[in-house]
A and B are shown apart, each in its own frame.
Chain A
Amino acid sequence: MDKVIVAQNLSLGYSKDEFIIKDISFSIDSGSFVFITGASGSGKSTLLKSLYGALKPETGSLVVAGVELKGVNKSKLNLLRKHIGIVFQDYKLIKEWTVEKNIMLPLLVGGYDKKVQQDQVEKLLSHVRLKHQALKYPKELSGGEQQRVAMARALSNNPVLILADEPTGNLDDYSSQLIWNLLEGANKDLDSTVIVVTHHIPESMRIEYKHFHIEFGKIHERI
């Protein structure tokens, strides 16, 4: 099976003297569904940030979708990010853009045709059950609805890789379940690799998944 992520002797940190992730090696198969768990401050989010290039490896190597992220330049990184969908705990929606335009962002960046953009947004709005909210602004939506918008945005350009950082951390049970369903759907229907950083793996998971646990800067696969 193709590997979408390969990390070797990877160390990550916010300063050169102190690493949060220390000398880890792991790989993730293309099309798999992966959970990364760990205590607060264990380095889960740090690892996730490194996967979309927001944090560069201090030592070792990290290859994501064929791109070596150690010393990667901006244009190569931008190209990689066009194939990654990211979901954040705090949604990170653009406040001054409507729901519709927020979802359109990756398509806009990808330079898709206007008609394709419109069709895809309409499809996704139905998919996340927000068709009636298309022209609203993020602040007019509830937390759950905002996260659904963020999910739709992450799915809009059929990404190879979806990275989600505690996507249900701020949501109620109903909204959380909707988000899990959407992530499962993306993995099953779009064949996207999904990596979710979370405190708890939902019991309702209907698909096969891998579980990595981070402790004291080291990563272990739990079977």
Chain B
Amino acid sequence: MNAFKNHLSLVVALLGILFSLQTFIIVERAIDAYKQNLACNYSLVVVSKKTITEKTFQKKYKIISNVKELAPDNVIKKLNSGIDKKNIELLKLALPKFYRLKLLHYPSPDEVNSLTKSLLRNKDIMKVETFTKSHDSTYKLLLLFKNVITVFAVSVGIITILLISKELKIWQFKHTERMSIMGLFGAPTWLSSAVLFRLAIVDALIASGLAFIVFSYLSSSDWVIGELTNVGISIKIFDKFSDFSMMLGVALLVSLLLASFIVISHKEEV
């Protein structure tokens, strides 16, 4: 029971850090994947007096990934009644060219603005339709979501740091006596602090192991996968190897820093 209590407080604090960090990373990944989906579905329409090739577009604007010329057939169909074939052909030649531009990523409103201005500097381009209203609201929604998660992660982080600083005092109190007694019998610092470092490493392993189990379960749960698929996200949100390594690294760093601080601030009792 005592040994369990010894581990519990630091493990809980470390879990807090790992959960906030991993949640933030997962949300970032999901948002990036969602943005990629949006980028696939989002496009600008450019109206030009003359033909512009895809190469010309891409040479000037690096953000453009794909250009498709829109056939004017639909417009002409609507005007078809009572116009003879010859006139339709003439009309086709007189109509401006319509292009749908796909972008490499989902742009911010500023990027859309600067791209529009830059396109309109071309004398042949008459109009650029950016569908600003729907784009801006989607982008703002994404930003809001990201900010909420960031605030959440930072809050959990701050609470955890407070928990850790409290833990630091408890550890200092608990381990100082043992370290002093061992020192009285000639134990070098590495030996008198070995228990502390062992505890720090074990707690880091326990915390990262627990976080790994929870995130592995969540990332493979049907409910989570279903929810992500519903919004068009089908990426792997939790990479077992790299994410576990990252969590273990962070947990070890925090707990070893804590242990080192106690060892450095330890003074022999007189």
Contact residues of A with B, CB < 8 Å?
14, 49, 52, 54-55, 74-75, 77-82, 84, 86, 92-96, 105-106, 108-110, 153
Contacts and interface: CB of A to CB of B under 8 A. Distances in A.
Contacts of A94: 177-178, 181-182
Contacts of A49: 270
Given A14-B270, A94-B178, A105-B185, 10 more contacts: A74-B188, A77-B186, A78-B183, A80-B186, A82-B185, A82-B186, A105-B182, A108-B187, A109-B182, A153-B185
Interface string B167-209: 0000000000110011111111101000000000000000000
A121 B25 CA distance: 53
B185 A86 contact: yes
A55 B110 CA distance: 69
Nearest to B188: A78
4 nearest interchain CB pairs? A81-B186, A82-B186, A78-B186, A109-B187
Interface residues of B, number: 16
Interface of B (DSSP majority class): helix
Nearest to A49: B270
Interface of B: 2, 177-178, 181-189, 191, 268-270
Contact of A52 (B181, B184, B188, B189): B184
B181 A109 contact: no
Contacts of B188: 74-75, 78
Contacts of B270: 14, 49, 54-55
Nearest to A56: B270
B178 A106 contact: no
A54 B186 contact: no
Contacts of B2: 96
Contacts of A80: 186
Nearest to A14: B270
A24 B177 CA distance: 32
